[in-house]
Structure 1
Amino acid sequence: MTAPLILCVEDEPSLRDDITFELQEAGYIVAAAEDAREALAFLESSRPDLILCDILMPGMDGRGFISHLRKARSDLDDVPFVFLTALSSRQHVIDGRIAGADDYLTKPIDYDLLRATVESRLNRIQQLRAMPGDRSGLTALDRLAIGVVLLNANGGVVHANPLARCLSDEVGIALSGGVTASGKDGRKLSALVAALISDERVAPAGLRLDNGCHLMVLGMSLPARAHHDDAVAMLILSSGDSQPPLDNAILGQLFDLTPMEAQVACLLAEGLRRNQIADRLAISGTTVAFHLRNIFAKTGVQRQAELVALVLSVPLARSVT
């Protein structure tokens, strides 16, 4: 059996060499690239089993690289993608998850954790590929601006989209195998999951976890399927502490906005003032006011606060570019 092929994209030579050595010692085949350009050239002729990629690189950075792959190389959608970065803030993790990353390792690299993460991701994708039926539709869940976890009849996690994994990590919920947490929150979750996967198929139920992060969980049963690994229940996770980036294109389609109007509306919803929007888009304040008048007319709202609330209600995240 051929060893899995790992593509490591890292611009720092010594770290790239160390990662290559550690993974080769663990029995993997490693292809190393110093930047996204070199990685893309490699991908023209080879298909890796997993991609490790630094975020901060010269030229196309890691987010640009994964965004390009998600748009131009749908044949690689099932290849696990793990970010390597020194940026470990909550928002950076959220941005990385929304961009399409499956996991996130911070520098300095813990090589035991690196090997464990690689092994876990490869095992998971092997399990998914072994399941019968077409599971490509699950990728649509990865663009939602809410966390979604699908559960099978045993309470095991069939699929969790990037935002669900990020929110779960933040509050100490484990999604490995089943959905587990410690203390009072763990007991609440266990009871909810048990009810959802029971033969009675209870009505949708919700709970708020007492973790200081305002995490709300809505659970609902789904129609039973023939295969034991098919989803029979769904958990929806949302947090008032974060709002994923907005999708300009979807917003434009919903309200018939021009691309510039959609950008102005999104920047306003992200908290920028009118003069800051003008600076960001390199237009005058008068032009910003002109676009806002058009936006108000098309959306039917009268006040800026109403517009912000409307924009934030759009339930789709975008790929970070």
Structure 2
Amino acid sequence: MEDNVKSAVREFAKSINSGGKVAADMTSLIDLTSQLPLSGFNQWERLIRSEFAVALRESAPPKWKVWSRPSELLTWLDLISWDGYRRERALRALVGAAPNTFFFSLAVRRLNDWVPQVREAAREKLPELAEATDPVYVVEALCVALASWNSWGRIEEIDKDVLLQIICKEKIAASLRNKLISSTTGPMSSLLSQLGRTPILDEYIEEIAALAVQPSVRAKAYRSLFEGRIAWIEGRTWKWTDIRYCEGRLVPVLAEKKVTVQTPLFELLKNSSVDRSPIVRRVSAEILIRELPSLSAVARGFAEQFASDKSPSVSERGQFALKRLEEAENSNASKK
């Protein structure tokens, strides 16, 4: 795949310097980048940037052939040029839809560019590109960005707001909700947390808790319903553990938003306690222990159900709940 990508990039660069039409020559490059795993995006971006720069130099006509030099042509690959001025001009020159997820991701990643003017251009251009691009490509790129933007050192709140505004577009929001429910792989629980900062999930948390394929997503959704809030990692900050020896570590900075819960606690416990995954049932058992005083008569039934669960982590919590109930009953009996 790496050799194929290099070959496609070189052919593309050659067509630019030959003065031919670029659109037809991008086909193989688009096909190949559509197959690239987004998990290795940094590696592919570095490879393509380096190969494209070398190929442009090698295929450029001699300086003395002034008449054969093509006029400047800005392409999607110029978004990752070594030249910040060129990256900015390329962003502002882009018109129409991104050809696939990879190229839209190139534009999104300019929000973390080391040149402020490039970030400004990305803020201005991304909403227009997102509107014109296939929502499937936009959603895939946004999922990758949301999973990693806490590690982006240069992105600012104003840049994040641009992505959040795109997320709130109805067709994008609907695709993201569907992805949360139907995806069998990927960091969907982390995506659920990040999307929680927007209003697009406010009316759908219960649906996600009931229907999501991934157990971790259902568990996260149920916890948000139980706690009446959804939390996400806003970033990371340095915390000294021993300043005398200059020792410390990065700790997450959490933020949260309230979730309006319409379903009664009993119904949430009833549904989550019979979930097919022990991850979800464990969350349910934890909430039972916390809410024992308010559940009164129905608490013992749930506690006995959890205590007999096949999962050790769930049964331990059920047994603990039974022990707490017995202690409370003995305490009440001694007071009479």
Task: Find the structure with the greater CA-based Rg.
Answer: 2
Greater helix share, 1 or 2? 2
Higher relative contact order (CA 8 A, sep 6+): 1
Greater strand share, 1 or 2? 1
TM-score, scaled to structure 2: 0.28
TM-score, scaled to structure 1: 0.29
